[in-house]
A and B are shown apart, each in its own frame.
Chain A
Amino acid sequence: MSVLRPFKADDLFKFNNVNLDLWTETYSISFYLNYLARWPDLCLVQEAPNGKMMGYVIGKAEGHGQEWHGHVTAITVAPEYRRLGLARKMMDELERISTEVYNGYFVDLYVRCANVLAINMYEGMGYSVYRRVAQYYSKLPHEKGGRDQEDAFDMRKPLPRDTMRRSVRPNGREIIISRDQAP
């Protein structure tokens, strides 16, 4: 239960309680405004009844031909509002817009291979590993590093337009591409 509303430019003044969390990066002004200037309907905020920001998602639409899809660039929920199913609601909406407005074939996202919790959550939402992107992330300052820390899984969920279910494959975890090959 929360207000689902569009992400707006002045939310940059309000997102401290979400962004002060270690796992959420704060980018330059242009980063956020660039998304809003191009895909405002894929940028959403969840707000508590008292007006506090609970979390947000920032997405885009990209790709050519059968690769045309919605992409989740960032999704985050403030610590005090976790385990309420907010991420799922934001993903649902993003998938709905990717289908109804953009008519994409699938929605995809990148996640550290070591982030098992997140991977399980996305699998619960119908996503599956499409491929592994080597050395996609930089090492975290407080972690040891290693392949699973730095590699990303590209996870995809087919949308109704993908009638052939080309964005799903059983052996996705074994298919490895380099960072340069990733879009």
Chain B
Amino acid sequence: MVDQEQRKLKPIYDALDSGSYKAAIQTCNKLLKKQPQHETIRALKSLALLRANKAEEAIQLCDEILASKPTDDTVLGIMQHVLKHLDRTPEITAMFEDAFKKQPGNEELGAQTFMSHIRVGSWKSAQLIALKLFKSFKQPKYLFWSIMSAVLQAQNAGGVNPGMTDNAPILLNLALRMVTSSPIPSYVSPDHFYLHLTILKTLDKLDEAYEHIQSERGKRLCETSLVVDELRREIFLAKGACREEAVLCGERLSKKGDRNWITFLSLIDSTFDVIKLNESQSKCETDSVAPATDSEGAGPPPSEAKETPSSTEGNGGEVDPELTPKPTPHPELPLEPQALIDGLRELFERLAKEDGLKERGGHLASLQLEKRVRIREEGQGKSVPDTLVSLLKQYFNNFSDKTCCFEDLKTYVASLQERELTSWLGFLKEQADACDFSTPAGLARSINVFKLQRFSSTSRRTEADEQTDAATYLKAYFEALPDLSETDLQPADDLAILAANGLVSAWVITRKETYLHQALVVLECASSKSKQNYQLRILAVRIYRLLAANGPALSHYRTMDVKQVQTDTLSHLILSRGSTYSLAPVGDVGMTQECITASDIYNQNSSDTADMIIKAFQFEKYSQITEFVEFEDRLDNSLQRDLTRLEYVRMKFTTEKLEPEALLLELQELEFVLEKMHHDNRDFAVIPNYQPRGQSLADQTSMGVVRGFQWLTVFLQLYIRAYARACRVETSVASDMNTFLSGWLSEMTEDEKTFLKFSQILHEWIPCPPLLSREAAMAALTGTATPSDATAAPAQNGGVDPAAKTNGDQERKQSPPPPHVKQDGSG
């Protein structure tokens, strides 16, 4: 029977798979003549119609099927595809809910219903369904689904204002009760344990979390799971257990061969916390009127707690002594600050000696320690010893043949004082004089010397300085350049990048364009010899754009093959103020095409990331779920996404005739964008920077001030106001932008400010016609057309979303996606 059914449907599936949608529809029709009510065939027909771009028929059939409230697995699966394709995801949830209500004993349907809630971010409904599933089918997995959903609800994950909600404590306590009542303990897997600890930490039940971590199973999980160990460290620090952290890190380094830099850092940080804690406690004991034996719960006055400097690295150095109710010294740690510091020194020296030059950890940790000692001593008004410079020299001598030596030392050079810098620069000068480009090690060393010299330079730099330096780097470049195959990176490339840095500086000082031309000659030459070097290309893109030579910029950008999620983080390189260079009016659609390409990833995100969140639930990887939801949100509400959208609107204005019926829809989309909370994901760190301290090549080569949230807001409002006037409807955007936006202009160029003024004058000059309701405006704009006819138009015209789908996307086009789709009813 089943076989017969499968044989019947196979031709339809085959036709769908091979893209022959017409054939699929025909087969469906033929079969439906015999069995007009066959649900699966009807569902498949709806899917085939949709794929064949017959949206209206597809929607009609889809609605009929939904009205019959199907329960069959296959039908539900197909309808899920159809609804997803139509951007009607919320209805998927209702469909599964109805089916599960009709067949409450069907476990698979229940699980599907849960997943459909997860897909749209209805954490509360998901939590309730999961609990129901657990009660009916007793699988611990469902209980943990419910726990995770409660946590997401407490975090308001993916909501408009993510962060702890008011009812978070109630939800988290509920989640904790569920964990405790679970038939399986949380330590069955790192991910269950992670979820348990997250709940305890968020509820501030640090002692309880600590106990779990210190249990035998807990310790084991910390050793085998980096995710759990990260959380363990956060809990230790939050609890003020710096002594335990210091002992643990010390053991891992000295006995277990751990060379993770995070362990070194945490050992140093926690040791300084211990010092602070010891000092505040001993001070407290002396100051206290009460007998010195009772130090429990006593903390120092707040002013003194802050007396010692804390970490400048942002490692959370502050310790609140009130969090440590039993401040008993650790038997393995000395009490004296000097002894503690000396202990670290000895440990790092020993590790450096044991590891030799194979491992930089111990060597660099000595520098990190001296930096911390220096901050502490400066805070106490002591004079600063010379140790840091001699350690820098030592490190340089050991590792200057490694490319990363410069990056390693940068932060320590930055903390040198003027007097020390002189000595350090003298040392570098000696090294520079002995430069040798004939061996790979010599070349790497020379490049490190140049980078460090440039970074450490103290004097105010002149045009002549920059010219001389650029010439030095360039000479070295040609001397060092061996003849390598095309697929290799040239080790000398950094010299060309250094020269370009110098030439850009000379341009910044003098504004003589010739320096930019010279920089481009250097970069083009180096790029022709090292085709795979993306850094050369990025710099070339930046400089070509400064010179209004968008063509070569675009061609370098395309050679880098920026794709997938990279388009979100890197498209700013070419699309920042991209409409300036759009040649669409003369038929070159290169830039508009770039907008469309760059916007594709956002569709991928909305269709695929939710599937992966569901997968993480299926495989019970609770440590990943919040991260996935945040990732989806960051990409969905990306600043670059809407900057690109606006660039696209501006490019379109110069080429396409304004379609009256599209205006209102575009207005609604822009209003929707204005409501968003944006995330800035743009990657500026990828732009190579070898400028002197405090300067940034990314800023120097930016085409106009770097744009941010304020720029986006101003421009959105400007266009929204213009669209609203054109459609004769009201909008919440202020009509006088002169006063409203006075403090918001810092991200605009002079030309943009003038444009804003122009728009304001125009707005005031053109008489305002009588306003209409939105429905009336739509009817007026479309003439006699019915609203559903009108909605098909913007898709063909592109809308304001460069990656808007062009298939029967009616539901969404009629009204922009509600901004709170992801929020729970209760949220």
Contacts and interface: CB of A to CB of B under 8 A. Distances in A.
B487 A142 contact: yes
Given A16-B570, A26-B566, A41-B226, A84 B404 contact: yes
Interface stretch (A45-53, A104-112, A128-136): A45-53
A16 B627 contact: no
Contacts of A21: 532, 534
Given A1-B360, A10-B631, A49-B364, A19 B489 contact: no
Interface stretch (B76-84, B288-296, B336-344, B612-620): B612-620
Contacts, number: 155
A50 B261 CA distance: 11
Interface stretch (B382-390, B405-413, B512-520): B405-413
Contacts of A26: 563-566
Contacts of A44: 226
A38 B532 contact: no
A101 interface: yes
A37 B261 contact: no
Interface stretch (B32-40, B133-141, B474-482, B681-689): B681-689
Interface stretch (B59-67, B113-121, B327-335, B602-610): B602-610
Interface string B594-608: 000000010011001
A9 interface: yes
A40 B624 contact: yes
Contacts of B563: 26
B615 A10 contact: no
B363, B605, B623 pick with most chain A CB within 10 angstroms: B623
Nearest to A85: B358
A182 interface: no
A6 B265 CA distance: 17
Interface in B619-663: 619, 621, 623-624, 627-628, 630-631, 634-635
A34 interface: yes
Contacts of B260: 2-4
Contacts of B562: 20
A48 B404 contact: yes
14 contacts: A10-B627, A12-B565, A12-B631, A14-B683, A26-B565, A28-B564, A29-B608, A30-B609, A36-B616, A38-B621, A40-B621, A40-B624, A48-B404, A52-B685
Contacts of B259: 1, 89
Nearest to A17: B686
A6 B534 CA distance: 27
A145 interface: no
B227 A40 contact: yes
B262 A36 contact: no
Nearest to B260: A4
Interface stretch (A75-83, A154-162, A171-179): A75-83
Given A9-B630, A29-B605, A81 B364 contact: no
| Interface size bracket, A side | 35 or more
A180 interface: no
Contacts of B634: 10, 13
B410 A50 contact: yes
Nearest to A143: B487
A13 B631 CA distance: 9
A38 B265 CA distance: 30
Given A20-B560, A40-B227, A142-B486, A81 B565 contact: no
B736 to A, nearest CB: 38
Contacts of A169: none
A16 B560 CA distance: 11
Contacts of A83: 402
Instruction: Determine chain B's interface SS by DSSP, over half rule.
Output: helix
B624 A100 contact: no
B224 interface: yes
Interface string A82-107: 11110001000000110011000000
A17 B260 CA distance: 21
A97 B601 CA distance: 33
B404 to A, nearest CB: 6
Contacts of B407: 48-50, 52, 80
A165 interface: no
B224 A20 contact: no
Contacts of A166: none
B750 interface: no
B403 interface: yes
A13 B364 contact: no
Interface residues of B, number: 64
Interface of B: 190-191, 224-227, 230, 259-262, 264-265, 358-361, 363-364, 402-404, 407-408, 410-411, 486-487, 489, 532, 534, 560, 562-566, 568-570, 601, 604-605, 608-609, 611-612, 615-616, 618-619, 621, 623-624, 627-628, 630-631, 634-635, 681, 683, 685-686
B645 to A, nearest CB: 19
Interface in A110-125: none
Contacts of A164: none
B609 A80 contact: no
Contacts of A84: 360, 402, 404
A8 B624 CA distance: 8
A33 interface: yes
A30 B681 contact: no
Nearest to B627: A9
B328 to A, nearest CB: 32
A5 interface: yes
A44 B227 CA distance: 10
Contacts of B681: 13
B178 to A, nearest CB: 22
B12 to A, nearest CB: 27
Interface centre among A3, A34, A80 (most CB of B within 10 A): A80
Contacts of A17: 685-686
A29 B565 contact: yes
B402 A20 contact: no
Nearest to B221: A101
Contacts of B534: 20-21
A118 to B, nearest CB: 14
A6 to B, nearest CB: 5
Nearest to B567: A26
B560 A49 contact: no
A34 B612 contact: yes
Contacts of A29: 564-565, 601, 604-605, 608-609, 612, 635
Contacts of A143: 487
A85 B190 CA distance: 28
Contacts of A40: 191, 227, 621, 623-624
B608 A37 contact: no
